Structure 1
Amino acid sequence: MKSIIDLILLLIDKGIDITVRNGKLIISNEDKLDISIIKEIKLRETELISYFSVINQNNSTDSIPRTDISSSYPLSSSQRRLWVLSQFDGGSMAYHVPSVYVFRGVLDISALEGSFRELIGRHEILRTVFRTVDGGDVRQVVLSAEDAGFSLAYRDLIGEGYAIEGGGVEGLLSSEIVRPFDLSSGPLLRAHLYRTGPSEWVFLCTMHHIISDGWSMGIMVKEVLSLYGSLSSGLVSDLPSLELQYRDYASWESGHLSGTFFLSLVPTG
């Protein structure tokens, strides 16, 4: 029989999320599991509920400690799964996260680029790459904002006389969305701005899922709008500093899944 940690890691590897709500075990994507694993989950339901109940009690910014500055940090379980899947041919492309926006009216391009530079400076995960270190382990490496390699790519399609009609812009967007990311060198966030009319622009932001999800995208959009408003008005941003970075969570989770934390839950005597 697998240890409880082995079972949890197996579920994570298969993309299965488990949590506890109101004392009941909630499993996502259960259809991905074979009968033998489902039976083991039911057999060890009490252990799983005990484990995740304690995790939930400790899962707050107050209980996640800040990590000491280091040259590299462990991957979270979701990052490790995405890294492995991205090693297969075409695997990385399946985890590109594009967002397309149409801007109309007056646009301050310098403030837009500056907003993303400040955003990348605030959030380390947006300037993180994934490299194999001594011993063959894959670790996340946080680059400085200067070394992150971000720039806003701009094309004036009107000035170029580009054939915008007939799907021309869509073709540009499609080719850019599928352009591969290099997880080891980055950047894993790309931004493109296309001028498609006298007062119209199409903006494309493409990220790799290993540094972003739906929830964090919502935060990013909100902060970019705030930063753009400040920069375009010549004001200093009033966004509060971040108490934690993603590396703090990944290190905290790694400690939980190492087995030492679970051993503390086992009664003694």
Structure 2
Amino acid sequence: MNVGATATQGLIGVAPRRVSDYPRTNRVSYNQEQICLLEAFYPNNKAYNFQATIEIEGALELSVLEQAISAVIARHEMLRTTIELGTEGFVAKINAPYAFEVAHIDLRDTTPEAVEAAFEGILKARLETTFDVSRPPLFTITAVQMAEANWRLIQVEHHVIHDGWSLGRLWSEIEAAYNAILANVQLELHDIPAQYQQFVAWQRDQIEGDYGKAALAFWHGYLDGSDFEVSLRAERPEGSNLAGLNIDTYLDAAFYKSLSAAARKCAVSEYVLMFSVFSRLVGDLTGSQDFCVGTAVSARSEQDIDPMIGMVVNTVPVRVLLEAGATETLRSVQKSFFKAIRYHDVPLSLLVRTLNIRQKKGSNPIFQHCFSFHDSTVPKLRFGEAAGVIHERQNRTSKFDVNVVVTPPSKIRKVAECRISWQFSETLFDANQARTFAEAFCALLSDWINEIACPAQPVISQEPQVAHL
């Protein structure tokens, strides 16, 4: 969907402006603005961090890795941008390229029996990292040397410079730069047509113009009459600190195959099927039949911003009107999702303002529950002769009452099972309640598959476990 062309399609002889045609602005994107506003509610929190570990088998040259990361930072202005609050709002500052430093922790003298516990202690400490978005750098990497040819990198960064798609791009470029430096050859990477501050200028021009007016008119009509306050707890405690209980559940290959067959039979995607089951569970537990569930959607609608690292993902409300049966609800959710996706690039913060919804601490506006698929490509890495594998981590936070991120099986990543990452607000759930909810989702998903009359009997591969980070 080419959103950039929408505002000028009807003007004969007027070509839409590309993102690369715009000069840089010092304003922030709507996506970043929403995060910064929430940061004001919850200062020094880690809920808007991203974290991952990269396991590397083989020799790793730390000095070469630092040079490679520095080269990527020089290419992408977003990786060296900070944000300050000015008299007229948030202001972005592009800082000069700098030499990135990788912290090094050596565990080679630790006994084999104690090395894993030592690493878990280091990881737990690093996951407590908080950032001040006005001070660089906004991401860190720690290299833990487990053995002579065994490393684990810990990456922590703030979401104002990152989205899920950016992870693969970042490490693909670090890999290319590392190998070029190691081989003493010229680094050859694709051009970046537009930097992030050009995207910001383009985004605000679109949203503040005719396209934005039409989009907001749609959203006002689409959301009118929906319940904006749906709580799984009869009494919502005052306030919240975004602390969360994190659970991972897994659906094995046989289960997911049955799920896919049921989705095909109803002419919907696996995402719509799982989203609908989650919505049904929320509706059954709250008694609401007309409410919104959030979902994260990539807003990279323009070719110019495809190679760019930055925060471009948007969280949009999908209005759910529950029907009597599984098939009827699937049709209703899919129809609603297709409507919402048409204007998926309208920022949530703008919807909240134009709908005059008062934001209050402890409750997300418009929707309190979020369900997303995360299927961006995550590359297998090669650093010279060493091989690297990226693992995304959770950090015991939750931005919503319940936030679910599904990572489906992938032939590219050679992963046959489906991972469901759950984040529950610690204000609203204890460990038993969180586990019960996750188990209820898996059971209801199985029931729906059987109701759709898929012949195979799915089996959950393992009990949900609370993640100890």
Give the TM-score of the pair, scaled to structure 1.
0.69
- Secondary structure at 1:94's aligned position in 2? coil
Q: Aligned to 2:90, which of 127, 138, 163?
A: 138
- SS of alignment partner, residue 108 of structure 2: helix
Match of 1:150 among 87, 100, 109: 100
Q: Which residue of 2 aligns with 1:64?
A: 19
Match of 1:203 in 2: 153
**Quick one: which of 256, 260, 263 aligns to 2:206?**
256
CA displacement at 1:219 relative to structure 2 = 0.8
Aligned 1:19-34 pairs, distance under 5 A:
none
The answer (yes or no) to whether the contact 1:67–1:251 under 8 Å persists in 2 is: yes
CA contact (8 A) 1:127 1:143 kept: yes
Change over 3 Å in CA distance of 1:88–1:116 after alignment to 2: same
Identify if the C-alpha distance between structure 1 residues 56 and 258 changes in structure 2 by more than 3 Å, giving closer, same or farther.
closer
Question: Share of identical aligned residues, percent?
Answer: 22
Q: Please name the residue that 1:126 is paired with.
A: 79
Mapping of 1:74-89 within 5 angstroms?
74-89=27-42
Deviation at 1:186, TM superposition (A): 2.0
- Residues 177 and 230 (structure 1), Cα distance of their counterparts in 2 relative to 1, 3 Å cut: same
User: Aligned partner of 2:82: which letter?
Assistant: V
Structure 1 residue 161 displacement after superposition: 7.6
Aligned-partner residue type, residue 57 of structure 2? R
Report the RMSD for the aligned CA atoms in angstroms: 3.2
TM-score (norm 2): 0.41
The structural deviation recorded for 1:238 is: 0.7
Instruction: For residue 115 of structure 2, give the secondary structure of its aligned residue in structure 1.
Output: coil
Encode CA deviations 1:105-156: one digit per residue, 9 max, x unaligned. Answer: 11121111111000100000000100123x241111110013xx73111111
Deviation at 1:262, TM superposition (A): 5.0
SS at match of 1:113: helix
Q: d(CA) in 1 for partners of 2:174 and 2:138?
A: 17
Matches within 5 A, 1:76-115: 76-89=29-42, 92-115=45-68
Aligned residues of 1:130 and 1:140 also touching (Cα < 8 A): yes
Pair 1:66–1:172, CA change in 2 (3 A): farther
CA contact (8 A) 1:124 1:245 kept: yes
Give the Cα–Cα distance (whole angstroms) in 1 for the partners of residues 119 and 58 of structure 2. Answer: 19
Residue number in structure 2 paired with 1:174: 124
Going from structure 1 to structure 2, the CA distance change for 1:164 and 1:243 (only over 3 Å counts) comes to farther
| CA distance 1:111–1:68, change in 2 (3 Å) | same
User: Once the 2 structures are TM-superposed, how far is the Cα of residue 102 of structure 1 from its aligned partner?
Assistant: 1.3
Letter in 2 for 1:144: A
Which residue of structure 1 lines up, in the alignment, with residue 246 of structure 2? none
Change (3 A) 1:201 1:55: farther
**Between 251-260 and 234-243, the greater mean CA deviation after superposition:** 251-260
Q: Distance in 1 between matches of 2:180 and 2:199?
A: 30
The one-letter code sitting in structure 2 at the alignment partner of 1:88 is F
Name the residue aligned to 1:193: 143
Structure 2: where are the runs of 5+ without partners? 10-15, 216-469
Q: Which runs of 4+ in 1 moved over 6 A?
A: 160-163
SS in 2 for 1:229: helix
Read off the aligned partner of 1:142 and give its amino acid letter: I
CA contact (8 A) 1:85 1:91 kept: no
Amino acid at match of 1:137: G
Q: CA deviation at 1:244?
A: 0.7
Call closer, same or farther: CA 1:101–1:141 in 2, change over 3 Å: same
Where 1:220 maps in the other structure, the secondary structure is helix
Distance 1:136 1:164 in 2: 53
Q: Distance in 1 between matches of 2:113 and 2:20?
A: 53
Deviations 1:73-102 (A, max 9, x none): 111111101111122336741111111011
**1:191 corresponds to which letter in structure 2?**
I
